[in-house]
C-alpha cells in the first residue's frame, strides 16, 4: 500500500511547479501518494517562499502544527524546502529541532536520497546547494492534470533588483537545455495538453543550448513549440522588460498560438524609483515595448507587478505609477507593499514613508487596477471568446469552466466531452471574479 505525502506550498507558480515535481519524484522512489491532510502523511514537506515578509513566521507556525504528529510518531519525516530553507539553512534547527530534512529549490531532485538518509535516523540532513543542471536532469514528468501544463525552461535570476531575494535563494539564471524542453512539450502534447506555459523567473533571458552546440532564445523556442502538433496555446511567465527583444515582439505578429496576454512586471512608474530598484530600464522604455506590442497585437492585454512604498517613494513617484497604470490600462495585476528583505541592498536604504501611508497608496492603486480589469471584463460581454475548457465548474459541477485568452474563468453549460478542448463561448455576464457564457460551438485545433 502506498504511503501519504503532504506538501504545503507557499508562494509563486514556480513553487507550485516544484511541489508537483517533488510529488512525482517521491511517488517513483518511495511510493508516496499525495494526501490533503498532514495527519494522513508519512512524509510532510513545506515548500517555502521568502519574497515578502512573514515567510519565516508562516514556516514556524505551520511547523508548530506538525510537531505533535512527529511527537506521536517519530518515524514520520518532516522536510523544509524552498527559498526560506535556502536562506536559513541549518538555522531552522535552532527553532524546530524536530525537522529532519532541509533542502533548497535547486536540490529538490535529491529529496529521495535525503529522505532515505533521514529514515536511517543518523541525524538531521541538509542540502541547500545550487547544482542547477542536475535538477533539470533528474526530475520526472509531472502528472498531466487538464489541458494546460507548465514547462520549466529556466531557473534562478541574475537581475539582482535591489529589493529581491530570489537571486540569493534560487541562484543565478540557468537555462534548461533546448532538447529537453522540446521533448517535454512533445510528450505533453501527446498526452492531450493543448496549452503550454513556459515557466521561469525571467523566461526572456532563456538561452537554451542545443545538442549541436547552438543556442535558442525565447523567441525561437516559442516558434518551435508552436510547431508541435496539438499545441494551440502558448503563454510564458514571468518575463522582464530588460531583454524583451524586438525578436520576441515579432513572435506576436508571426505565431498565432502565442496568446494576446502578457504579464510584464514594471514595479513602478517613476524613473527615480526604478533606478533605486536597479530594474535596468526607464518608464519610456517600458512604454516603448507596450507600443510595439500593440502595433503587432492591438488586442493584447497586459498585466503587471507593482511595489508600492519602496524606501523614499514620494507622493510624486506614486502619482507617476498611477499615471502609468492609466496610460497602459493594465489588466488584472499584482501589487504589494514593499517588504524589506534581509540581505538585499534596498533593506539598508533610509525609509521615511510610514506603513500607514504605504497601505493607503496600495489601496488606491488596487482600486484603480480593479476598475480597469472590471471595465475590460464588462467590455467582453456580448462578444464571442475562444476558450480552453479545463474542468467542471467548481461552484456548479453541472457546468464547465474554461479560460479565455486573457486568463479569465468563464462558466457555461455544455457537455463534459468538451473538457480538454477549445470552444467558442459567447460572454453573457461579467461577475467580480469570473464570466458567464453560452456555448456557441466546440472548436477543432487551429
Nearest alpha carbon to residue 164 among 262, 110, 240:
240
Under the binding rule (CB under 6 A), the answer on residue 204 touching ligand F3S is no
Closest approach of ligand SAM to the CB of residue 240, in Å: 4
Distance CA 356, CA 341 (A): 19
* Max CA separation in the chain (angstroms): 65
Nearest alpha carbon to residue 159 among 269, 241, 262, 217:
241
Closest approach of ligand F3S to the CB of residue 102, in Å: 22
Integer Rg of the chain from CA: 23
Q: Which stretch binds ligand F3S (CB under 6 A): 4-12, 156-164, 225-233, 328-336?
A: 156-164
Closest approach of ligand F3S to the CB of residue 123, in Å: 34
Closest approach of ligand SAM to the CB of residue 242, in Å: 8
Q: How many CA atoms lie within 13 A of 391 on its CB side?
A: 9
State which residue, 78 or 166, has the beta carbon closest to ligand F3S.
Answer: 166
Q: Which stretch binds ligand SAM (CB under 6 A): 129-137, 183-191, 290-298, 336-344?
A: 336-344
* Backbone torsions φ then ψ of 437, nearest 5 degrees: -145, 175
Under the binding rule (CB under 6 A), the answer on residue 160 touching ligand F3S is yes
Under the binding rule (CB under 6 A), the answer on residue 203 touching ligand SAM is no
59: cell is 514556516
379: cell is 467590455
Q: How many CA atoms lie within 13 A of 24 on its CB side?
A: 15
State which residue, 172 or 254, has the beta carbon closest to ligand SAM.
Answer: 172
Look at residue 167 and give the partner it binds from ligand SAM, ligand F3S, none, a contact being a CB closer than 5 to 8 Å depending on partner kind: ligand F3S
Alpha carbon of 291 to those of 9, 20, 67, 328: distances in Å? 37, 37, 54, 9
Adjacent-strand bridge partners of 437: 427
Q: Which stretch binds ligand SAM (CB under 6 A): 103-111, 119-127, 337-345, 398-406?
A: 337-345
Residue 32: count other Cβ atoms within 10 Å of its Cβ. 24
Distance CA 157, CA 168 (A): 9
Look at residue 341 and give the partner it binds from ligand SAM, ligand F3S, none, a contact being a CB closer than 5 to 8 Å depending on partner kind: ligand SAM
Alpha carbon of 255 to those of 106, 185, 230, 261: distances in Å? 33, 17, 15, 13
Question: Which of 25, 44, 45, 51: binder of ligand SAM (CB under 6 A)?
Answer: 51
Q: Which stretch binds ligand SAM (CB under 6 A): 188-196, 219-227, 331-339, 374-382?
A: 331-339
State which residue, 44 or 362, has the beta carbon closest to ligand SAM.
Answer: 362
Restricting to residues 252-281, which ones interact with ligand SAM according to CB under 6 A? Answer: 265, 267
Closest approach of ligand F3S to the CB of residue 307, in Å: 9
Q: Which residues contact 253 (CB under 8 A, 6 or more apart)?
A: 296, 297
Restricting to residues 133-172, which ones interact with ligand SAM according to CB under 6 A? Answer: 163-164, 166
State which residue, 64 or 342, has the beta carbon closest to ligand SAM.
Answer: 342
Under the binding rule (CB under 6 A), the answer on residue 304 touching ligand F3S is no
State which residue, 69 or 340, has the beta carbon closest to ligand SAM.
Answer: 340
State which residue, 38 or 345, has the beta carbon closest to ligand SAM.
Answer: 345
CB 257 within 8 A of CB 227: no
Under the binding rule (CB under 6 A), the answer on residue 98 touching ligand SAM is no
Question: Which of 8, 159, 261, 263: binder of ligand F3S (CB under 6 A)?
Answer: 159
Distance CA 137, CA 120 (A): 26
State which residue, 307 or 389, has the beta carbon closest to ligand F3S.
Answer: 307
Is cis: bond before 19, omega within 30 of 0? no
Count of residues that interact with ligand F3S, criterion CB under 6 A: 10
Distance CA 201, CA 52 (A): 16
Distance CA 9, CA 6 (A): 10
Angle between helix 283-296 and helix 246-254 axes, rounded to 10 deg: 20
Question: Which of 7, 22, 44, 161: binder of ligand F3S (CB under 6 A)?
Answer: 161
Q: Which helix (H) or strand (E) holds 181?
A: helix 178-190
Q: How many CA atoms lie within 13 A of 175 on its CB side?
A: 19
Closest approach of ligand F3S to the CB of residue 82, in Å: 14
Q: Which stretch binds ligand F3S (CB under 6 A): 131-139, 159-167, 294-302, 323-331?
A: 159-167
Count of residues that interact with ligand SAM, criterion CB under 6 A: 17
- Residues at the contact surface with ligand SAM, assessed by CB under 6 A: 51-52, 163-164, 166, 201-202, 238, 240, 265, 267, 305, 307, 336, 338-339, 341
- Residues at the contact surface with ligand F3S, assessed by CB under 6 A: 157, 159-161, 164, 166-167, 201-202, 240
Amino acid at each position: 500500500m502506498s504511503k501519504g505525502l503532504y506538501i504545503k506550498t507557499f508562494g509563486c507558480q514556480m513553487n507550485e511547479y516544484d511541489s508537483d515535481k517533488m510529488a512525482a519524484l517521491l511517488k517513483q522512489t518511495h511510493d508516496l501518494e499525495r494526501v490533503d491532510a498532514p495527519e494522513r502523511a508519512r512524509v510532510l514537506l513545506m515548500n517555502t517562499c521568502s519574497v515578502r515578509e512573514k515567510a519565516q513566521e508562516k514556516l514556524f507556525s505551520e511547523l508548530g502544527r506538525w510537531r505533535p504528529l512527529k511527537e506521536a510518531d517519530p518515524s514520520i519525516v518532516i522536510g523544509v524546502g524552498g527559498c526560506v530553507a535556502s536562506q536559513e539553512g541549518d538555522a531552522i534547527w535552532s527553532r524546530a529541532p524536530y525537522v529532519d530534512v532541509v533542502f533548497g529549490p535547486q536540490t529538490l531532485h535529491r529529496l529521495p536520497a535525503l529522505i532515505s538518509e533521514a529514515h536511517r535516523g543518523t541525524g538531521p540532513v541538509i542540502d541547500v546547494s545550487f547544482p542547477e543542471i542536475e535538477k533539470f536532469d533528474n526530475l520526472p514528468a509531472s502528472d498531466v492534470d487538464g489541458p494546460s501544463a507548465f514547462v520549466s525552461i529556466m531557473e534562478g535570476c541574475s537581475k539582482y533588483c535591489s529589493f529581491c531575494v530570489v537571486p540569493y535563494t534560487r541562484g543565478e539564471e540557468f537555462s534548461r537545455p533546448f532538447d529537453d524542453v522540446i521533448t517535454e512539450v512533445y510528450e505533453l502534447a501527446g498526452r492531450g495538453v493543448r496549452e503550454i506555459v513556459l515557466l521561469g523567473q525571467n523566461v526572456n533571458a532563456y538561452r537554451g543550448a542545443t545538442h549541436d552546440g547552438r543556442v535558442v532564445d525565447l523567441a525561437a523556442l516559442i516558434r518551435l513549440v508552436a510547431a508541435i502538433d496539438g499545441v494551440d496555446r502558448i503563454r510564458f511567465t514571468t518575463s522582464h522588460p530588460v531583454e524583451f527583444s524586438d525578436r520576441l515582439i515579432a513572435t506576436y505578429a508571426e505565431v498565432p498560438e502565442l496568446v494576446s496576454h502578457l504579464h510584464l512586471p514594471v514595479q513602478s512608474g517613476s524613473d527615480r524609483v526604478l533606478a533605486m530598484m536597479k530594474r535596468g530600464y526607464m518608464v519610456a522604455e517600458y512604454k516603448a515595448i507596450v507600443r510595439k506590442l500593440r502595433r503587432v497585437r492591438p488586442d493584447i492585454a497586459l498585466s503587471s507587478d507593482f511595489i508600492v512604498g519602496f524606501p523614499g517613494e514620494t507622493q510624486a513617484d506614486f502619482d507617476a505609477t498611477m499615471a502609468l497604470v492609466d496610460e497602459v490600462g493594465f489588466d488584472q495585476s499584482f501589487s504589494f507593499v514593499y517588504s524589506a528583505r534581509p540581505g538585499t541592498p534596498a533593506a539598508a536604504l533610509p525609509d521615511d514613508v510610514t506603513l500607514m501611508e504605504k497601505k493607503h497608496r496600495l489601496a488606491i492603486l488596487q482600486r484603480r487596477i480593479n476598475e480597469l480589469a472590471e471595465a475590460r471584463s464588462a467590455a467582453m460581454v456580448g462578444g464571442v471568446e475562444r476558450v480552453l475548457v479545463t474542468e467542471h465548474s467548481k461552484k456548479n459541477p453541472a457546468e464547465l469552466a474554461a479560460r479565455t485568452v486573457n486568463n479569465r474563468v468563464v462558466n457555461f453549460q455544455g457537455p463534459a466531452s468538451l473538457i480538454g478542448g477549445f470552444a467558442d463561448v459567447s460572454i453573457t455576464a461579467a461577475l467580480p471574479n469570473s464570466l458567464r457564457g453560452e456555448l456557441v460551438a466546440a472548436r477543432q485545433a487551429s
